[in-house]
Structure 1
Amino acid sequence: MSNNSRVLLADLADDEERIRRLIRMYLEKDGAEVEESDNGVDALRKALDSDYDIIVLDWMMPTLTGLKVCKMVRYIRVTPLIMLIAKEDEIDKIKCF
């Protein structure tokens, strides 16, 4: 990440707060501006209303899943997305791609 990069972390607080804090710490240490969202609807609103250099989505979000948010964002934006998934089913991993 370069200085002034904008990152959206979506719903990483629910189940793995330690991971969210670590990701945020490294991004901010590298000069990124980090915003967070605690559910899918809020993540989608932020992703469509603001310009981010990258969006990190959790697969399992309340109100809208990370996959649904990803699909909706893709209709409008070309922002790079990283999907965090704790699922072990191969079909779920394929859906992320």
Structure 2
Amino acid sequence: MNRRILIVDDDREIAGLIEIYLKNEGYDTATAHDGEEALAKLDSEPYDLVVLDIMMPRMDGLEACRRIRRNREIPILMVSAKAEDMDKIFGLMTGADDYMIKPFNPLELLARVKSLLRRSYQYNRTSSDEPDDGVLEIGPLRVDKRSHHVEADGKPIRLTSTEFGILYLLAASPGRVFSAEEIFQQVWKEKYFESNNTVMVHISKLRDKLEQETGDKLISTVWGVGYKIDV
């Protein structure tokens, strides 16, 4: 079955171009032109990914992203004409998995979409043929790769596929320090660029969620080196 992608942008020309690029790659698509319309469509039909503009009428992309994250783990690729680092950080902090600046290269857009879908599939799939070796227990956490399920003392923790990927990577090698470059390359499967603060923002969100449920951030920063989970 083809993956379904919701494109949300008040600029109908841009939304139409993105739709053409994605359809040419075999994806099923639908469009919405503000946050309220996007939420209504997500409530009525299942989608595998959202391409979400920030600046829109009625409800902007940041508020739409917050509301989507209340009860959905669907990958979100945020797009915006705002190029400042703080705009990108704010977008990622609201729950987006990735952030692109307009105007963008169509090939880069497709690469980002494929990467997000691949990550989501990798961490959400289940198979009765797969050996039960994808479960990690570290401290109060139980991390199940097969079901993309995380518990703290039996209580579930909702994570996006990106957050889950980072947590599983660190939890699989407790005590080992991973640099931001290593984390990015292993979770995003893309080349890392200097000054890329994407990993830092996702680590911050992940820590907040873990601390909320366990009372402990669990992930330590080794300044100038990277991040780790201690045994």
Per the normalisation by structure 1, the TM-score is 0.84
Find the partner of 1:64 among 32, 35, 59. Answer: 59
Coordinate RMSD, CA, aligned? 1.6
2:34 matched to 1:39?
yes
2:45 matched to 1:50?
yes
Native 8 Å contact 2:8 2:50 kept in 1 = yes
Pairwise CA distance, 1:70: 0.5
2:79 matched to 1:81?
no
Pairwise CA distance, 1:49: 2.7
2:86 matched to 1:91?
yes
Q: Sequence identity, in percent? A: 38
Gapped runs of 5+ residues in structure 2? 93-231
Which of structures 1 and 2 has the larger relative contact order (alpha carbons within 8 angstroms, sep 6+)? 1
Indicate the structure (1 or 2) with the bigger Cα radius of gyration: 2
User: How far, CA to CA, are the matches of 1:30 and 1:89 in structure 2?
Assistant: 30
Native 8 Å contact 2:8 2:31 kept in 1 = yes
User: How far, CA to CA, are the matches of 1:11 and 1:21 in structure 2?
Assistant: 9
Q: Which runs of 4+ in 1 moved over 3 A?
A: none
Find the partner of 1:13 among 11, 18, 30. Answer: 11
Native 8 Å contact 1:48 1:76 kept in 2 = no
User: How far, CA to CA, are the matches of 1:8 and 1:24 in structure 2?
Assistant: 9
Native 8 Å contact 2:10 2:34 kept in 1 = no
Partner of 2:25: 30
Gapped runs of 5+ residues in structure 1? none
Pairwise CA distance, 1:82: 0.4
Native 8 Å contact 2:10 2:57 kept in 1 = no
For the residue of structure 1 that corresponds to 2:81, the secondary structure is coil
Q: What amino acid sits opposite 1:69 in the alignment?
A: A
Q: What amino acid sits opposite 1:25 in the alignment?
A: I
Q: What amino acid sits opposite 2:25 in the alignment?
A: D
Per the normalisation by structure 2, the TM-score is 0.37
Pairwise CA distance, 1:12: 4.8
Equivalences, count: 92
User: How far, CA to CA, are the matches of 1:24 and 1:12 in structure 2?
Assistant: 13
